[in-house]
Structure 1
Amino acid sequence: MERVIVGLSGGVDSSVAAYLLKQQGYEVIGLFMKNWHDDSVTISNECPWLDDSNDAMLVADKLGIPFQTIDLSEQYKERIVDYMFKEYENGRTPNPDVLCNREIKFDIFMKIAMELGADYVATGHYCRKGVIESNETKTYQLLAGVDANKDQSYFLCQLSQDQLAKSLFPIGELTKPEVRKIATEQDLVTAEKKDSQGLCFIGKVKLPDFLQQQLKPKAGKIVEIPKENIIYTTEEPNFNTNQERLEFLSRKLDYHVEDGKVVGTHQGAHYFTKGQRKGLAVGGHTEPLFVIETDVVENVIYTGEGKQHPGLYKKALFVKNEELHWIREDLALNPDETMPVLARIRYRQPLQKATLYKVESGLYVEFDNPQSAITEGQFVAWYLEDELVGSGVIS
């Protein structure tokens, strides 16, 4: 019997994953990861880790599988929390879920599982794994989950071939209602449990409170840029090369306080992210204000009225070489090569038609249609049909 260690999170998805593996004849062990100690920033009664670990234990008991809790809070703080603080401080918006999968679940957790003699690690992600076999070699594919509404392949966009080789995604072929039905039939305590929101494996956390632990509030200006501003009417110059054109399309617009009018104040530009609407507390507008840019050096937030504001939209983005990642290393582009793909810049965004352009310093992603709120620090992931083949940090 092959041994599989399941990351039991105390939710319905990982519970059903464990049940299915047992049905398939694997030797299954449940492991709960404790990643967080600080209750001062957790929204109380909203899925603190204790309730989750308790539910995970009850599920393991019901399925008759061994169970234990491992404390990874030190590594989590080092690899996820400290990174998040640093990114926010630099005016970028990190994605903790993608990082948690790359750094914790499929790295530290996987290593612990292998030390416990596991052949595989399994999670309750809605995605699938494919294998292409040719001459003795196996190439692993990360495929979207069958449930288009729940597909979580995006969160795994930083996995490597080695990590995929040792991973199983038992519920990838199922829809959420089917997963709940199985949990109900098996009388699992998690059957009706709501999906957890918030940071990966921490439960619900108030992000501003969380950030305020290290990033001190400091008052600054909120500036509104009118959509008629000359910055948006600049005609495209003549380009000598395609790379110059892509640089122009992906450039960061340079705003100054005098480009608009001061409409309010805030408590720190590093608490805000592009495309954000909530938390600005500025009235007197027909349409809501959106953050179009943050300047953490000058501590200014630039905003525009309405979700069609030109400051929100861009047609291209850039990923530096050191932040570029191919799951399918065999498909990686060389300089001057291009590839038509489907891409997304955030979880649950419908896939968008785009073209990849590889240059010496990195990779441009040019979309067929302008995209709203392309945000530095977030991940862009690209697909060939339903296979996620690569990703990178938006620079």
Structure 2
Amino acid sequence: MNNKQVNTGKIVAVGMSGGLDSTIAAYLLQQQGMQVIGLTMQTWDKNVAKGKSVSACCGPNEVETLAAAKKAADALGIQLYVVPLIDEFQMNVIEYFRAESRAGKTPNPCVVCNQKLKFGLLPNKAQSLGIEFAFFATGHYVRSVFNPETNRYRLLKGLDPNKDQSYFLFQLTQTQLRNIIFPLGEMTKNEAEKIAVEAGFDFLLERKQSMDFVENGDYSGLLEEVDEQPGKIIDTSGNILGEHKGIARYTIGQREGLGIAATSRLYVSKIDSKTNTITLAKREEVMSLSCSVDGCTWIAGLPPDDGMECKVKLRYRQKGVVAKIMKDDETTCRLFFREPQFAVTPGQVAVCYKDYEILGGGWITESGNTTSST
């Protein structure tokens, strides 16, 4: 858990999905004498996907998710509240996804959903509906530690490197961290599974869990006809190589599914929404030494020192690459990589770390090949 002192007389609301992690988070809090209730989001609009089957975090399988959350809450002996967030999910996540895709960017809906819904609208709307609680907890594998010297919370990677989810939570604020508990941050997934068996929650191990926003990464059910307008695929010299099926279906660095024949391996290097064209290039031409980042937020509330060297994750499963932070202002910066990086993708997030601590991050707007002058 973190080092937050929680009075056992206070109520802790746990964001529950019916999966193992959130259920064991609630169980551990119970074992520490906390009064626990469960909150789960109702987000699925059956009209969103034009009848196509979409599941995982987003889709018509939500009925199963709600049932699983109820089963877990019953096993724990706690009250579960279903918080309706259909309109909010549509506006904040689905419309964001479509807008970014249409702009030729690769959206990251999981980051947006975590910040705006799971840690924002879910607890806030629950309290507006009269559901009382003092703290909010989740099953994320991440740690929050209070530093009395600075009077601020630090956000640290979870101890399990295979499950660390800090990448998705870089936008958390000091105000939020004051009231958030992460019971699983100090343990591994295997340890959580062992607790589930010992506590008699074996059924949790049988439920398939997915990290996908939609089933098998197939986002086509969320796209509309306007997103499927074909256009030219060209090379860096402007030669026409073929026709794409709508820029929303492509991402920087993509090689598979391009539908073109070439004498060498080609990758998507540029997506231009204004001309509705996709440019292909050789791998070495899709490498970048730097990138610009906008919408930066910093866990400490202040940006790091200019020129600080840190490790940056440009995608969730990346181990992290060494980079130097050069600030433009408090919300924009440029990152200069020690080594060239493949497929630095506008629309994705760059999250900065110092050892195990999350400094913050922001949204990649463009990649480049400039180097730091300092």
TMscore range, shorter length:
0.7 to 0.9
Q: Aligned partner of 2:339: which letter? A: N
Q: Choose which of 291, 308, 311 in structure 2 pairs with 1:339.
A: 308
1:290 to 246, 267, 278: 267
- Pick from 258, 282, 287 the counterpart of residue 313 of structure 1: 287
**Where in structure 1 are there 5+ consecutive unaligned residues?**
226-258
Q: Name the CA shift for 1:317/1:216 in 2 (closer, same or farther; >3 Å).
A: closer
TM-score after normalising by structure 2: 0.87
Matches within 5 A, 1:265-284: 265-283=243-261
User: Within the alignment, does 1:301 sit opposite 2:302 as a pair?
Assistant: no
1:195 aligns with 2:169: no
Q: Deviations over 1:160-187 (max 9, x none)?
A: 1111111111111111122222222223
Q: 1:377 to 1:114 in 2, by over 3 A?
A: same
Which of these residues, 13, 38, 50, is aligned with residue 21 of structure 2? 13
Question: Do 1:55 and 1:190's aligned partners in 2 also have CA atoms closer than 8 Å?
Answer: no
Matched to 2:165, the amino acid is Q
1:52-67 to 2 correspondences below 5 Å: 52-67=65-80
Shift of 1:261: 3.5
Number of the residue aligned with 2:218: 206
Q: How far apart, in 2, do the equivalents of 1:190 and 1:143 lie?
A: 27
- Where in structure 2 are the equivalents of 1:208-247 lying within 5 Å? 208-211=220-223, 213=224, 215-225=226-236
Please list every run of 5 or more consecutive structure 2 residues that lacks an aligned counterpart in the other structure: 1-8, 366-374
Q: Which amino acid aligns with 1:27?
A: Q
How much does 1:130 deviate?
Answer: 0.8
Indicate conservation of the 8 Å contact 1:41/1:205, yes or no: no
Give the Cα–Cα distance (whole angstroms) in 2 for the partners of residues 50 and 187 of structure 1: 24
1:350 to 301, 308, 319: 319
2:76 paired with 1:104: no
Question: Deviation of residue 281 (structure 1)?
Answer: 2.6
In 1, the alpha carbon distance for the partners of 2:254 and 2:190 equals 31
Q: Is the 8 A contact 2:159 2:185 kept in 1?
A: yes
What's 2:193 paired with?
180
**1:131-152 deviation per Cα after TM superposition (whole angstroms, max 9, x unaligned):** 1013xx7301110010111110
- Alpha-carbon distance between aligned partners in 1 of 2:114 and 2:23, rounded to the nearest angstrom: 18
Q: Determine if the alignment matches structure 1 residue 131 to structure 2 residue 146.
A: yes
Structure 1 CA distance, aligned partners of 2:263 and 2:44? 41
SS state at 2:210 partner: coil
- Does 2:11 correspond to 1:3? yes
1:195-222 superposed Cα distances (whole Å, 9 cap, x missing partner): 21322xx7666302312x2633112122
Name the counterpart of 2:340. Answer: 370
Say if 1:47 and 1:123 are closer, same or farther in 2 by CA, change over 3 A: farther
- SS of equivalent residue, structure 1 residue 389: strand
Aligned-residue offset at 1:264: 2.1
Q: Pick one of 159, 165, 170 that aligns with 2:178.
A: 165
| Percent identity over paired residues | 35
Question: 29, 50, 75: which is aligned to 2:37?
Answer: 29
Contact 1:41 1:206 (8 Å CA) reproduced: no
Counterpart amino acid of residue 206 in structure 1 = D
Select the residue among 337, 354, 364 that pairs with 1:384: 354
RMSD, matched Cα: 2.2
Deviation at 1:312, TM superposition (A): 1.5
Counterpart secondary structure, 1:104: helix
Q: How far did 1:57 drift?
A: 0.6
- Go from structure 1 to structure 2 and tell me whether the alpha carbon gap of 1:41 and 1:182 turns closer, same or farther (over 3 Å shift): farther
Question: 2:140 aligned with 1:118, yes or no?
Answer: no
Q: For the residues of structure 2 that align with 1:175 and 1:47, how far apart are their CA atoms? A: 31
Change beyond 3 A, Cα 1:268–1:63: same
In structure 2, how many angstroms separate the alpha carbons of the residues matched to 1:44 and 1:384?
36
| 1:344–1:381 Cα contact (<8 Å) kept | yes
Contact persistence 1:145–1:172 (CA under 8 A): yes
| TM-score when normalising by structure 1 | 0.82
The corresponding residue for 2:167 is: 154
Q: Which amino acid aligns with 2:299?
A: I
For residue 120 of structure 1, report the CA deviation from its aligned partner.
1.1
Measured against aligned partners, the alpha-carbon deviations of 1:4-51 in whole angstroms (never above 9, x if no partner) come to 111111221111111111111111101111111226243369881111
State the one-letter code of the partner of 1:107: G
Distance 2:55 2:84 in 1: 21
Whether the 8 Å contact between 2:37 and 2:80 is mirrored in structure 1 is yes
Shift of 1:362: 2.9
* Higher mean C-alpha deviation, range 357-366 or range 264-273: 357-366
Aligned mates of 2:226, 2:204 — CA distance in 1: 36
Aligned-partner Cα distance in 1 for 2:171–2:215:
22
Preserved contact between residue 380 and residue 394 of structure 1 (Cα < 8 Å): yes
**Deviation per residue, 1:227-275 (Å, 9 max, x gap):** xxxxxxxxxxxxxxxxxxxxxxxxxxxxxxxx05333211112321112
User: The residue matched to 1:216 in structure 2 has which SS?
Assistant: helix
State whether residues 143 and 388 of structure 1, in contact with CA within 8 Å, keep that contact through their aligned partners in structure 2. Answer: yes
**How many equivalent residue pairs?**
348
Compared with structure 1, are the counterparts of its residues 215 and 22 closer, same or farther at alpha carbon in structure 2 (3 Å cutoff)?
farther
